[in-house]
Structure 1
């Protein structure tokens, strides 16, 4: 009996140019984290693989990078901008094999650029920036981790204001929690306390007990950090 490989090939069609290509995915049995941080960043032991290395799909032909959260709708004029800014400068290469950390990081930066030019939802851009921050955390690159956490925070705040998380995998309570937790991690404790409280007091709180319990725990952490007088950023 042949051993099961940790990776499998997935066939995709580029949402921008329409050409087919293949990419890799990690089988779930090989991507079990041994630890998950309070902002949902997973950590893996040897023998397990980080599926977030493969969250972004990169078309080898045109260079457009996207996640499964991207819509297939392009605002008027955006395709021309993408063609000029991305495809016009693209050196054809294949991200469809097993990726190292450098290729994973590059795939996210390509997707953030593509999503920004496409005017993708703030919730989608926030998710990309957050996952990129996670990858930098695993590399102990604190400066870049903080940079992309800050961009994720800004995008989640915009998503909350415009309610553009509707139709995504996130609820309003999820968004409030993420604003609170990223604010806390960036040293903005008063803002964190405010947003955790908004989540806890939300009208639908009883429907989402897991995230509400987590929000209560992190509210206590943020209150204590603020009490200790750590400089408000």
Structure 2
């Protein structure tokens, strides 16, 4: 039997199509083989492109690195919404910086700046700014620097608490990648303070988070910082709320159970320690030097 899937079309004039790779399998295999031999940096570079941006502060036109839409591959997601990616990390490219005036912001905020805020950047950021050439591929340390410059700009223009809080949360995530728990905790605290303020003083959504998602994030940040009682209050409100999505209720129950399990373990450990009583050693008479001869 012929393996030519187009056999029978010869009389119609198609007699030269007996070696067609219908799904381009061989081409894909060759491409994948080529990718295997690339370094990590080369792989990441292939997933980036230059995006043209105009600075709303000084009018400078520049190019910034951006990750191709199809490039981000999710490995897992932490309980506070931090996504761990494979090959390339889109968080590294989340901040846009104008190298002429020093204005920086997370990309969704970059063009959302008022005239009064522009004047503040010109007055307090631009005079001190030292232009910097960044590499073609960013790493976590570059990302931290760029996020901190963004946070400084948010502080200078007195941006909404939700913006500053999200910026701090993303810095905390970057330190998590470095396994730097001290700095992660520092910025988680800053993020929690900002989200708390935003929840009671801003309208929803808070940085693209609806009311219940905001409540969950506040509860989870409290849990991660050891504020268990406060965390349980937020999770309980979600669980009992009529309008909260079922998936968010399930996540809140999971985190509530984690807190209770940790507290039960702590109580058990305390009880075990209290039940243990020190055993006194029986005092024995000391033997003199000659006892080994006359004992």
Is TM > 0.5 for Structure 1 vs Structure 2?
A: yes
Greater relative CO (CA pairs within 8 A, separation 6+): 1
**Structure with larger Rg:** 2
| 1:46-105 residue CA offsets vs partner (Å, 9 max, x unmatched) | xx11100001111111111111332624374x4343223211110112448321222211
Contact 1:57–1:67 at 8 Å: present in 2 too? yes
In structure 2, the CA distance between the partners of 1:44 and 1:79, relative to structure 1 (3 Å rule), is closer
TM-score, normalised via structure 2 length: 0.70
Contact 2:97–2:104 at 8 Å: present in 1 too? yes
Contact 2:151–2:164 at 8 Å: present in 1 too? yes
Aligned alpha-carbon RMSD (Å): 2.3
Provide the residue aligned with 1:8 in structure 2.
49
Provide the residue aligned with 1:214 in structure 2.
251
In structure 2, the CA distance between the partners of 1:194 and 1:227, relative to structure 1 (3 Å rule), is farther
Aligned pairs, number = 225
Provide the residue aligned with 1:36 in structure 2.
77
Shift of 1:200: 2.2
1:72 corresponds to 2:112: yes
In structure 2, the CA distance between the partners of 1:97 and 1:16, relative to structure 1 (3 Å rule), is farther
- The SS at the match of 1:213 is helix
Provide the residue aligned with 2:64 in structure 1.
23
Structure 2: runs of 5+ lacking an equivalent: 1-26, 36-42, 268-295
TM-score, normalised via structure 1 length: 0.87
In structure 2, the CA distance between the partners of 1:15 and 1:195, relative to structure 1 (3 Å rule), is farther
- The SS at the match of 1:8 is strand
Mapping for residues 94-173 of structure 1, pairs under 5 Å: 94-95=133-134, 97-166=136-205, 168-173=207-212
